[in-house]
Each structure stands twice: as structure tokens, then as C-alpha cells.
Structure 1
Amino acid sequence: MRFPKLAFIFMFVGCLVVYLTYVKRHYDDSKPLVSDQLPQYRMDTHKHLTSAHVASEHFQYGIMFDAGSTGTRIHVFKFQMEPNEAPRLAHETFKAIKPGLSAYADDPEKFDGYINVADVLQSKEGLLTLLKVAKETVPETLWSSSPLMLRATAGLRLLPGEKATILLDKVREVFSESLFFYRPDSVSIMDGTDEGALHGTETPTVGMLDLGGGSTQITFALQDEKTIQTSPIDYVTSFQMFNITHALYSHSYLGLGLMSARLAVLGGIEGQPLPGPQELISPCLASDYSGQWEHAEVLYTVKGQKAGEPIYESCLRKVEKMIYKRVRKTEEVKDMDFYAFSYYYDRAVDLGLIDEITGGTVRVRDYIEGAKKVCNNMSPGGIKETPFLCLDLTYISVLLQELDFPPDKELKVCYS
């Protein structure tokens, strides 16, 4: 794996979901098995079993699909099982594809074609490609006992009407034929706490930040009783694992993902096209810029504001006004290590702050200074490929400070 330590932390609660939902159940359940339960795990292997079969009894697998707004990712977890010990994450296999499921909201039949076997073999994209990864990773003898799950994030929550339901039903059809252990409720859209927990933590000293297209999440293990008492009740969750109770601060801010925030700063309203030929005019764009931008199935015409005061200062005021009092400050974040993913990573790569393959460490101040540099040096005709970089960086720098991260705070920024 590219980031062994990071992968363990990043997948901790994902593994926990699989463990609590399926693996722990077949340890604790003393009732006779029925057809929809996992086979009982046993360590009393018999001499007549083959060595391969005996080896497979020491492991269990869990398969998690993470369906985001910009792509779908598969994580295949391999748990080492030993008698009288908690399951241990032995390995994780990862693969991602683009676009996200929401790209097929208007044409479910296109989605069906997208995952047609012939198409997959030719294009090597789609859910069947990811399922193929799982089948290549999990021994065939364990397919029927390996739970298969999909959790969708804000990209689907933002879809109007029943579009999300239709898409998830299509996914269920595919999964039901996969030969893995599957139940219809294994495919769903996460609520805010779940979405933060997917990027959960292993230790009390590590936190996670994720900036998607439609929402942004913050998650960390609580250490200060004061934070537990003063936080909103839906920001704090607790769970028991291996007879230890963990308190987790986790919240997903829907509408504050990078793409949704970009629209709000530009002056648009989520899901509402502009009447007639109106345009969104913003000081966060180069004065000579004019173009079209699509978000949540709506196409917008956007233009830069006529030259006046420095772009950064004008853009900063717009961003600060948009985000004012929409996120909570939490002092506890100042004193622990944080990992940051998704658009935090993308924009750090755009600035040349980190290596595209290995990631790296970025200070909040680096985003601030990067925003100033990009905004105040947008030359006419020179920003066609990255017209929104000034806006995006300004938003990221303000968001982090609103969450109470000081300018000198270091973040470990990695590809997710």
C-alpha cells in the first residue's frame, strides 16, 4: 500500500462498520444459522481439510464501496482472525474509478450500459471492474461469507427527487448477482455522522478532514470532557469495540464541499438554474474571464468582475460572508495531528506544495499564501485551465481557520 500507516487510520471505522455489522455477529450468535447469516467462524480445523482451506479459516474479508460525488472507490479489507483475540486488519486493497454514480442520475439505462460486462472489459471502468478487484483479492471459497457494502456520500444526497433511490436500486441489482454476502440494506446513503466516521481515527491523537464536492467532514477521537459537554448532541457519537468505549466527534457539513461552496460564493443557489440569460459575476475570477460551469446538473454562465481592487481581498470578503457562522470552532483540533484528503490534496498538488504520488505536509498558512499569490497574479488569458483556483484556495484557507486551525497548523495531506 502507498500509505500503510495512513491506510490503517483512514480505514479504521470502515473496518469497524464491517466488523460490527457482520464479523462480530457471527462470533456472538449462538443460535442455529439461517440462510442469510454468515457461516460460523471456527478455529477447530480438522486434519482432513486442505492446507489452503485451513489457511483461509484464519482470515475474513470485508468489501466497502465508497461512492463519492466525483468517483467510486473500493476497499477490500483482509482481517486476520485468531482465537480469543480481536480481528486485526492484515491488508487493504484499493481502487478508484471516475465519474461518480451521480453522473448517471438522468439516464439509469446508461448506467446499466456502463456496467455491462462487454463495456467493462473494453473500458475497464464501472462497478463490475471494482467487483472484479474484489474477486481477485478474496479467495473464491470465502465469497459467500465476505460482506459487500456501498455507502454513498453527498454527491447523491444532493440529487433531486427519486434519482438517488433509482441509482442505488441499480447498484443493488448488480450486487445481488455478485456472489458475495449481500443484503439490500448494505447499499445506502450515509448521514453526516457516518460520512465523517468513514474517515475515522485509530488513536485519540489523530483527526481527519475530508473536503468533497458537496460536503466537508471533520472527525476526531475526543479527549476533552468539555468538548463532549459543549458540542451539539448530533456531533458526538460513541461506540464500543473490544469492550472499550470510544467517543468520536464527527460532523458532515452538507453544502460546504468545494463545488457547493464555489457555487455559493459565485452567488448561485444549489439546484436552481438562473432565470433567462443571467450570469454569475464574481470578483474571485479574472476580470476578463467568461465561461460555463456545470454543478449538480445545472449549467451556469460565470464571468469575472471588472478590474478594481485586488482580487484576493475582494474574494476573501465574499468567502467570509458565505461561510460566516456555518461551521463550529473546536479548540481541541489545535493539539492533535490531522490528515486531510480529497480537494485538500488536489489543491495542494495544484500549488506544488506536495508530491502527487506520496503526498506531504502542508501548513494552513501555505493555503493562505497560495490563495494570495494565485488571486493577485491571474493574468488575462492565462487562467483558462484553472479559472476557479483563486476561489477554491481562498475558500479552503478560510474554512480551515473557521474550524479553528491556526495558520501554523500542519496537516498531513494525502490522496484518498
Structure 2
Amino acid sequence: MRIPKLAVVFVFAGCLVAYLTYVKRHAESGRAALLRMPNQPSAAAVASDHPLVPEEFNRSHFQYGIMFDAGSTGTRVHIFKFLMEENEAPKLAHETFRAIKPGLSAYADDPDKCRDGVQELLGVAMDTVPMSLWKSTPVVLKATAGLRLLPGEKATHLLDKVRDVFSKSPFLSRADSVSIMDGTDEGAPCFSLPVGSLHSTKRATVGMLDLGGGSTQITFSPQNEKAIQTSPFEYITSVQMFNSTHTLYAHSYLGLGLMSARLAVLGGIEGQPCDQELVSPCLAPQFTGQWEHAEVQYTVKGQKAGEPIYESCYKKVEKVLYKKVEKAEDVKEIDFYAFSYYYDRAVDIGTIDEKTGGTVKVSDYIDAAQKACNNMEVTPGEHPFLCLDLTYISVLLQQLGFPKDKVFKLARKIDDVETSWALGATFHYLESLRRH
């Protein structure tokens, strides 16, 4: 059976995050310090440090990995410290996380300006990783689908500048250290997460849903043979992980992220500037405004419909999603975590707390979509895209196979570790270095 690249990343991410989720730790709390390169303060930087393994383990062997997440709104660096013990799975001993704004795409017309931000985050890594380990610590940058939406060669020029900065850093940099993730790789946020001891032969699993700007992903471990047999062949893979074989359903839908879908629902085409107005039934009839996507400025306008806004918008979203999503078996019975725009829109409608997260049902998105669409008749410009976004999310979830009463867990962190593809991707990269 063919093993797509994302499967390995998914499973490694699952192992590591699972360890963080259910293995008890007794780390001593320490003073958090904001580490930056001298003379390069950033008001936009966000800091967090997460010690996860007791200090007495410092006698063991440690391996560091540096992963840059170049998103559309900002650049983030994860500096992972793994505890490496013979014949055991690596354990995450510590994570240092920093984020700066804006994202690389903001420098598309002047690529040289992206250097300062990258160097600032490299300075954080230099302050975190012991000098003696710099040469053996890989530094990697992966850009998400948003950067791929830049017109022409702008993305290539930006990444070339990053490669140059990396090559001059004291860390291990290779030809594959800087890249844009394709639709397959970007599924990495949605790892399959075993719940229970890694040493237990019985473990439940949870699935992962991620809704980014350019793509959306679903990943879970099928619970029965029927689900495996009825799923598209390319969505299913079997991988060996720590002496166990795991079957995984994992797929990334490129172009169905919230921002790309918003453009499609509005009537635009990705990468093709439109000189005319984009008119949509998902906007208030009297609304006219500007919206920027992938460095293209659009004029958007509501359309007068013969039926209520929600019904008109629902039909438009259904048309955009027609035959683009596979309904997955088994998802009704599996617990799912949801991230990114699923989280953000749940915050917007007041279903969860922005800092602590919570739970949300598919029906919550449906109800909120109907309310947002109805409210646009009264306040058309207050939240112009909320009706569209919520309608899209509710239709997408149902087409993926989730019933209206399905409950999702929403979280930004699991056991104080940022929930992202970066953890699994770093571990996978370290493994590739070890094998070669």
C-alpha cells in the first residue's frame, strides 16, 4: 500500500502529542523569559516556554529541532527539545515558542525585508539551543497554502531570502530546509491521537479537523474494516510506529480552506484578479465593501434575493462544495478535536472562551449561521462575512459525515503545547536525518 508523506508526519505527531496528553509530568515551574536577539525587539512577538521533563533527566541525551511555521498572518518558530533514550520513543522535554507579525507574504514586493523577522526568531533559537549543539540542530521552514497563493514568482523570491538567512546561521540547513507545503503535507496539523498509555495495547483514538485559510484537513484512525474498504484508496495508509502498525484515514482538501472557500462563494477564482464586483447572496443586499485575499483587492457586494439570506447562502455554499468532499465513515463514533478557523468562529459566536476553548456542536454553527444571516438585514456592515463563514463551516462538516449533534473539542493547546503540525513534522525531519 502506498504511504503518502503526510501519514508519517501524522502518526509521529500523534505519538508525541499523545505522550504530552496522558503521561504525567512533574516539571518544576521556572521563570518564563522572553528570548530575542539583541537590539531586535518586537511588540508583535508572542512568547511561551513549556518545560515538560524533570531536571534530573538532563543527564540523558537531548536532541533539538527548530521548525518555522510561515503562515499567512505571521511567522512562528517552535524550538523542540527531545529526550532521547535507547529503545524508547523520544519524549518532548521542552518547547520554546515565539510568533511575530506580519507573515512573509507581507514582504512579497520587497523580499529583503523578511530577513529581520527570520533573524529575530533565529536569535531566539540561538538563545535556547546550547552552542555545542548548534551544528547538529536542524532548522526548517515550511510555508502553508497561503504563501502559495501569491502571484508570479513572489513566493519563490521570499523563500530564497529565507534559505540565504538559514545558510548563514550556525544551525544545520539543507536543500530541503525551506519549502511550501503541498496539499498533502499540509494535512499535518490533523494527526491521529492515541488516548491512553503508549505502552498499553488498548487505546482509543481521537480524530483531528483543521480549517486553514487555503486548505482543510481531516484525520482519524478507522474503527472497523468496512470504513477502510469504503474509503478512497489514497486516503488510507498503514504505517509502522514504535513496533505497532496503524491504519490512518487522512486527507487534505486544497482550496477548501475558509479564505479560499470564501472567494469561491463570492464568485471569484483563485489567483485571478477581478476588475468587476463580486456579488454574492451571502452578503447583505445593501452591503458594498473591499476584501483583500492573497494580495488581491476585491470589491464585494450583496445581492438582492427572492428568499431569505441564509437559504440563498446555503444553496450557494452547497454548489461550491458539490462533489468536492468525501463523506467519511466512522466519524460519528470518534471524538474529534477541531482547530484554526473552527476555533476562531466558535469564539466569534460566543460558544467558547478565546483562551480556554471548549466544545461546540455542528448544530451550534448552523444556528449561529442562521442568526448571523438574519442579523445582516439589520446591521449589514458589522460582520459582513460571518454569515458566509458559518454557513460554509456548517455545510462542510455535514458533508464530511458529521451529524448535527456531533460535539467537537476546541483547543489551542494540549497540555501547554501549541497544537500544530510543527511537532510531528520536526520529529519526522529528525528521523529522516538519522536514517540518512
2:338 counterpart (321, 337, 340): 340
TM-score where L is the length of structure 2: 0.76
Separation in 1, partners of 2:221, 2:155: 31
Match of 1:164 in 2: 155
Match of 2:207 in 1: 207
Higher relative contact order (CA 8 A, sep 6+): 2
Q: SS state of the match for residue 176, structure 2?
A: helix
Larger radius of gyration: 1
Is contact 2:284–2:302 with CA below 8 Å preserved after alignment?
yes
TM-score where L is the length of structure 1: 0.80
Deviation of 1:151 (Å): 1.7
2:284 counterpart (283, 286, 293): 286
Match of 2:402 in 1: 405
Letter of the 1:176 partner, please give it.
Answer: S
Deviation of 1:154 (Å): 0.9
- Structure 2, unmatched stretches of 5+, are 1-8, 17-54, 195-203, 413-418, 420-436
Is contact 2:107–2:113 with CA below 8 Å preserved after alignment?
no
Q: SS state of the match for residue 387, structure 2?
A: helix
Match of 1:349 in 2: 347
Give runs of aligned pairs for residues 203-352 of structure 1, distance below 5 A: 203=194, 205-275=205-275, 278-306=276-304, 308-352=306-350
Deviation of 1:264 (Å): 0.7
Separation in 2, partners of 1:197, 1:368: 27
Is contact 2:213–2:257 with CA below 8 Å preserved after alignment?
yes
Separation in 1, partners of 2:193, 2:124: 26
Letter of the 1:311 partner, please give it.
Answer: I
Letter of the 1:75 partner, please give it.
Answer: H
Separation in 2, partners of 1:151, 1:313: 39
Deviation of 1:383 (Å): 4.3
Please report the RMSD computed on the Cα atoms of aligned residues, expressed in angstroms.
2.5
Q: SS state of the match for residue 369, structure 2?
A: helix
Q: 1:14 to 1:78 in 2, by over 3 A?
A: farther
Q: 1:307 to 1:222 in 2, by over 3 A?
A: closer
Separation in 1, partners of 2:235, 2:103: 27
Is contact 2:107–2:114 with CA below 8 Å preserved after alignment?
no
Q: SS state of the match for residue 205, structure 1?
A: strand
Separation in 1, partners of 2:109, 2:382: 27
Separation in 2, partners of 1:67, 1:114: 11
Separation in 1, partners of 2:71, 2:250: 18
- Structure 1, unmatched stretches of 5+, are 1-8, 17-51, 117-125
Q: SS state of the match for residue 285, structure 1?
A: coil
Match of 2:180 in 1: 189
Match of 2:103 in 1: 100
Percent identical among aligned pairs is 73
Is contact 2:114–2:158 with CA below 8 Å preserved after alignment?
no
Deviation of 1:308 (Å): 4.0
Q: 1:14 to 1:95 in 2, by over 3 A?
A: farther
Q: 1:306 to 1:413 in 2, by over 3 A?
A: same
Separation in 1, partners of 2:15, 2:159: 22
Q: SS state of the match for residue 350, structure 2?
A: coil
Letter of the 1:101 partner, please give it.
Answer: L
Deviation of 1:268 (Å): 1.0
Separation in 2, partners of 1:62, 1:267: 42
Q: 1:353 to 1:378 in 2, by over 3 A?
A: same
Separation in 2, partners of 1:265, 1:176: 42
Q: SS state of the match for residue 70, structure 1?
A: coil
1:147-168 CA-partner distances (Å, limit 9, x unpaired): 2112222112333433322222
Give runs of aligned pairs for residues 21-60 of structure 1, distance below 5 A: 55=58, 57-60=60-63
Is contact 1:197–1:250 with CA below 8 Å preserved after alignment?
no
Match of 2:130 in 1: 139
Q: SS state of the match for residue 184, structure 2?
A: helix
Separation in 1, partners of 2:367, 2:388: 13
Q: SS state of the match for residue 281, structure 1?
A: strand
1:360 counterpart (353, 358, 368): 358
1:285-327 CA-partner distances (Å, limit 9, x unpaired): 1122111111122211111113642111111111111111111
Q: SS state of the match for residue 351, structure 2?
A: coil
Deviation of 1:56 (Å): 6.3
